[in-house]
Every structure is written in C-alpha cells, then in structure tokens.
Amino acid sequence: MSAVSVAGLVVRYGRVTAVDGVSFDAHAGEVLALLGPNGAGKTTTVETLEGYRRPDAGRVSVLGLDPIADHAELTRHVGVMLQQGGVYPGIRAREALRLFAAFYHPDHEDPDELLDRVGLASVASSTWRALSGGEQQRLSLALAVVGRPRVAFLDEPTAGVDPGGRQVVRQVVRDLAGAGTAVVLTTHELEEVERVADRVVIVDRGTVVAAGTPAELTSSGAPVEEIRFGAPAGLDTAVLAVALGAAVEEVTPGEYRVDTAPTPAAVAALTAWLAEHDLSLADLRAGRQTLEDVFLRLTGPDSHPGAR
C-alpha cells in the first residue's frame, strides 16, 4: 500500500478549479518532489492530504487513512513543515522542540540531539524571532521530524537557507527516507530536487503534466543540440565563436551556451580553447537537459499555445 495516495483529486474554490484530476502515489522510504509554478495547485493538493481541504471529487489517503475523517489518528504519524510561521515568536528553540516532542511521547527524537543534527545547538536558547531566516527554516524542519513521522510534508525546506544549511537539510531528508518515512516536498529549488528526490511530479494549472525519476524526466523530449558551460564572466564570445565555428552566447554572467551539436569534437575544441587561454571550466553540460529545462518546457508560456 502506498503511504500517500492521490487519485483523480479535484478541489474547487467557487468557480475556480485549483486541482483538476491530479493522481500520484508516494511510498515509504521515498522522497517525492511536487513541483509547479505559483498557482499550479501544489499547496492545495498538500493541504488536502494534510486534512485541511475537502476534495470536491476523487480520493486521497495517507497511511490508508482519510485525512479528514481520521485526522486525529493521522496527526500522530505525520510531520508538517510550513514555509513560514506556525511558531510563537517568543519561544526559544529548545523549548519549542521539547514542546513538540511532548506531543509524541514517548516515541520521539531527543530534542537536544536533533538540535545538534540541524546545526542549531549554539542558538538553542535563542527565541524564534532572534533566529535568522535560515535558522528558522532548520528549526521548522526539526519540529516536523521530532515525532519520527511515517509521512513528512515539507514546504520549501531550503528556502532562505545558506549552502551549509542546505547540506544539513539534505542529510535530514535522506535520513528520513532511510528510516522508511515517505517524504513529500514542494519546492522551487530544482537543483535541490535533482539532489534529493527519488521521483518528481510536475503539476501545472491543476493537472499533472509529467512524472518520473529525475533521470527519466531529464532524458525525455528531443535531444538538446547545444553545449552549456561555466567559465569566468565576460569571455570574448565572438573570438570563441570563430574558434568553435558556432554562435556563443553568455546566457547569464559566467554561464555560456554554444549553438552546436554536442559532439566529442565540439567539446574537445571548447576545452582546448579554454586551456589555451588558461581559463577554468566550472561546469559542462553537453546534450543533457536539467530539471529546470524540463520544468520550463512543460510549464512555461510556450507550453500553452494561445495563452496570454
């Protein structure tokens, strides 16, 4: 049995259909990322799974239970991380974690050990309002997992978190899945998804437009006839274009696109030119989409002909 099951879910707000026939499953020990642009229906779907929205049609279940009818039973087995708020601003980090742990007595994580795992031991006596945005995010994550949940819903767990904090968050998510927890996370950080997600569901305008592993999604679609690479900003793209025999564009500072098929000869010519000019190569992507490429192709303006 799936830990989380969504089948033909429809949720309406008056005449507006926010979720229109969404279906997916999440399994124990799996990290499932639910992606979509703002207004796509992600939050409404998760709130329905948490028991805060009633479906207009379709079926949802968490651990085989109805999120509304069995809400009291379900809350003992589910952890929820909100993107913002939900914590009294004057409470201290250690106090908050001990309070939440008491809700799950006796089966919960040790609050002090968990504070150390999320890198907050040094600010355990600080109030919520005194914590930085990244520290608040890590405390919110700790509050969501202190009860050793069988299912965890994590909303933007790395938003506003610095690189070191992101490593901490990733490890906590991996540990959850390793312990058999089904993790459903929503995020706009697509690089994070490629690092931690086992499967991805992309929704747009209330419907599922793609689902699969990150590898399956990034290998889908037409071959990418270009080379992308990272190098110092401000390269003379005209000179490089002559050397490669193809147009070169600096897409963003330090990120370049070469308009040519990603053949071994083209890649060799590029790396040779960089070596000749003693320039470092930060990243090289030849003929491979990123998850961001897939996401934009499926949810961008061009994916809806006639839309304005």
Give the residue with greater pLDDT, 249 vs 221. 249
195 in the same domain as 114:
yes
248 in the same domain as 190:
no
Does any domain span residue 12? yes
Give the per-residue pLDDT at 85: 67
Does any domain span residue 104? yes
Domain boundary among the residues 188, 218, 248 is at 218
- Predicted confidence (pLDDT) at residue 308 exceeds the cutoff of 50: no
Give the per-residue pLDDT at 307: 45
Q: What is the domain count for the chain?
A: 2
**pLDDT for 47-77, tens place per residue?**
999 999 999 999 999 999 999 999 999 999 9
- Predicted confidence (pLDDT) at residue 99 exceeds the cutoff of 60: yes
Give the per-residue pLDDT at 42: 95
235 in the same domain as 87:
no
Domain boundary among the residues 192, 218, 244 is at 218
SS (H, E, C) the chain: CCCEEEEEEEEEECCEEEEEEEEEEECCCCEEEEECCCCCCHHHHHHHHCCCCCCCEEEEEECCECCCCCHHHHCCCEEEECCCCCCCCCCEHHHHHHHHHHCCCCCCCCHHHHHHHCCCHHHCCCEHHHCCHHHHHHHHHHHHHCCCCCEEEEECCCCCCCHHHHHHHHHHHHHHHHCCCEEEEECCCHHHHHHHCCEEEEEECCEEEEEECHHHHHCCCCCCCCEEEECCCCCCHHHHHHHHCCCEEEEECCEEEECCCCCHHHHHHHHHHHHHCCCCCCEEEECCCCHHHHHHHHHCHHHCCCCC
- This prediction has a pTM of 0.84
Does any domain span residue 116? yes
- Predicted confidence (pLDDT) at residue 46 exceeds the cutoff of 50: yes
Does any domain span residue 307? no
Give the per-residue pLDDT at 231: 95
Range 113-119 average pLDDT: 96
154 in the same domain as 191:
yes
- Predicted confidence (pLDDT) at residue 225 exceeds the cutoff of 90: no
Range 120-136 average pLDDT: 96
Give the residue with greater pLDDT, 298 vs 290. 298
171 in the same domain as 153:
yes
101 in the same domain as 22:
yes
267 in the same domain as 211:
no
149 in the same domain as 261:
no
Does any domain span residue 293? no
Does any domain span residue 124? yes
Does any domain span residue 303? no
Print the domain residue range for 137: 4-218
203 in the same domain as 92:
yes
